[in-house]
Structure 1
Amino acid sequence: MKVSIVIPCRNEVAYIEECISAIYANTLCKNEEVEVLVVDGMSDDGTTELVQSLLPKYTNLRLIINDRKVTPVAFNLGITESTGEYYQIVGARHIICEDYLEKEIQILEENPDIWCVGSKLINEYTNQEGAIISKAMDTPFGMGVGNFRILDKSGYTDTVTSPMYPRWVFDKIGMFDEELVRNQDDEFNFRVTQAGGKIWFEASIWLKYYVRSTYAGLKKQFFQYGYWKVFVNKKHKAVTTLRQLFPPLFVLFALVSIPLALLHPFLKYGILSIWVLYAFLALYFGAKKGDGFKESLGIIRSFLIMHFQYGGGYLKGIYHFYILHRKPSQRETKLSR
């Protein structure tokens, strides 16, 4: 078996069929034997039944039940249940392009120092709120400079989406960390780079990603990103990327800016200048990406949600994991949708 493709999912009935169809439309599937494993986390929205109905239609399509319901367990079930020389993760909301698999294998076979390959991400949406969120996530101001979501040139990076790995990578550095409800792929890729492997972002291939369709879903998603990032840092006794520090530092700045401004006029002007800069950047990117005044305001709202929720989650993580020495909160183990 050349490639094993694993789709972790839970309650993705609206997206799973399009995801599977795009995989089997790949050029590699016409010339090589592949297997596709849908690892379903006890869906209750009809996802399981839909996948079962597709089994006769597609060769080597399998359904595996993940009774623990969390993503890293799905990844690891995919590893243990599959036989492919290469291991490909595809999110249930990801629609890959036709040469995705073929191009990734070519890169890995021609570059033995590269252990992981991923692609460009194109944000998709299903409603107006989703359209606004997708535009906010398509900016360096929203996501941070260097984030894989906004890269457009091929090159080395620290993590990618929907990655492919040679199977031997798991023998070398182990499986995905099943304690991590979020950031399990970032943590795994951190281990890849720590072990001497390289991660490649390939801009000539792409996938479409369906973003959250509500501001409420976006809030929970980014709060969890920040919260679980701290747990990863504590496990590795290191800050895995420097850009993750900007949102929590900004939230701290927001909390202390008024008291500090009252201490001295010099501090007041310095603090005001930072807020003016933030407002200018938010307005600039909101106006640049927005189609009209109302949509631009929605994009600015999305910026605020992403920055403050990530930063707030990060600070909560510091409080829980470093000050109280607690295990992850049960509330933050529930995935946002």
Structure 2
Amino acid sequence: MPVLNEERHLRSSVRHILEQEYAGELEVVIALGPSEDRTDAIAAELVAETAENPRARVHTVPNPTGRTPAGLNAAIKASRHPVVVRVDGHGMLSPDYIATAVRLLEETGAANVGGIMHAEGENAWEDAVAAAMTSKIGVGNAAFHTGGQAGEAETVYLGVFRREVLEQQGGYNEEFIRAQDWELNFRIREAGGLVWFSPELRVSYRPRPSVRALAKQYRNYGRWRHVVARYHAGSINLRYLAPPAAVCALAAGVVVGALVTPWGFVVPGGYLAAIAAGSLPAGAGLPLAARARIPVALATMHMSWGWGFLTSPRKLAKKVVASRREPVRQG
């Protein structure tokens, strides 16, 4: 578990691991980035509280860069069991997550299995973001957001790995500050390994707590998805191109509307109408305060992702391509 400024959710996230309905022994390895809140103190408390627990103990390792892939590699190196479960500091595993994942690894022969990133909020804004993140108008047909049939996948959320596969591939590429899951799963698949999605696996995810934080998150998503597209030609599709196309169309519509003809405003007006209409089914069953915020969440996600994609610097992709690791086939 790589963490950075996770004081709000860290204790709950670890509790969901320690309370797993799993008969085997567990260990939790937390990679501590340079947090500015009480994350390190909470982690130290968890270490002390589990020191005498014969079944499940918490350990920590330093991650001075704060980068997720570096933290993951440090934590994996410090762990010792044959199955490695990736968890985030704001992710809450369902009670049978590990037991189900181990069973799926055995049944499918997969190198990595993963499931649904089920966003759940704790206030009106987070409820709105959660609704947006689990709707097709928000994220398209991504199975790990919206659900789907079990089967082979390009990548999965978080992941439960066979240690031997991680060691064989040399772990995560630390140049991928984001999208490191996709890059690792790409190498696993290129080496002949199976990546498996199953809706049986479910992780509750706590959305970002503000518009600004959500915008930063999705800008980084778009920025690094463009890096992936440059890293691996042919990996892009229409779902990924929709947000940058929307940003360009909206900008063009505003410019035309302001300088040429008011008809240009039809484009941004149509977009606003579309997300307003799409937020109705997405917000079914939510309080009015949350439903009213869904269009804001959708627009923030779309525009930030698209802007991040469009402004992703080519030099970033060149740096990542230069660090390319070739897939390692067993034997």
Give TM class, smaller chain: 0.7 to 0.9
In 1, Cα distance between the equivalents of 2:176 and 2:119? Answer: 25
TM-score of the pair, normalised by structure 1: 0.83
Q: Which residue of 2 aligns with 1:231?
A: 227
Do the aligned partners of 1:287 and 1:293 also contact (CA within 8 Å) in 2?
no
Q: Mind listing any 5+ residue stretches in structure 1 that lack a counterpart? A: 1-6, 329-337
Do the aligned partners of 1:86 and 1:166 also contact (CA within 8 Å) in 2?
yes
In structure 1, which of residues 91, 99, 103 is the aligned counterpart of residue 100 of structure 2? Answer: 103
1:7-86 correspondence runs (5 A): 7-28=1-22, 31-58=23-50, 59-86=56-83
1:210-289 correspondence runs (5 A): 210-240=206-236, 242-257=238-253, 278-289=271-282
Do the aligned partners of 2:69 and 2:177 also contact (CA within 8 Å) in 1?
yes
In structure 2, which of residues 103, 113, 119 is the aligned counterpart of residue 117 of structure 1? Answer: 113
In 1, Cα distance between the equivalents of 2:150 and 2:238? Answer: 21
Secondary structure at the counterpart of residue 60 of structure 1:
strand
Secondary structure at the counterpart of residue 233 of structure 1:
helix
Do the aligned partners of 1:36 and 1:61 also contact (CA within 8 Å) in 2?
yes
Aligned residue identity for 2:163: R
Report how many aligned residue pairs link the two structures: 312
Q: Does 1:199 align with 2:192?
A: no
In 2, Cα distance between the equivalents of 1:228 and 1:152? Answer: 25
In 1, Cα distance between the equivalents of 2:241 and 2:189? Answer: 20
Pair 1:111–1:326, CA change in 2 (3 A) = closer
Q: Mind listing any 5+ residue stretches in structure 2 that lack a counterpart? A: 51-55, 321-331
Q: Which residue of 2 aligns with 1:333?
A: none
Pair 1:325–1:54, CA change in 2 (3 A) = closer
Pair 1:42–1:258, CA change in 2 (3 A) = closer
Deviation digits for residues 244-270 of structure 1, max 9, x if unmatched? Answer: 2221122222233467899x99xx79x
Pair 1:293–1:210, CA change in 2 (3 A) = closer
Pair 1:258–1:97, CA change in 2 (3 A) = closer
Q: Which residue of 1 aligns with 2:88?
A: 91
In 2, Cα distance between the equivalents of 1:107 and 1:242? Answer: 31
Do the aligned partners of 1:148 and 1:159 also contact (CA within 8 Å) in 2?
no
In 2, Cα distance between the equivalents of 1:158 and 1:260? Answer: 40
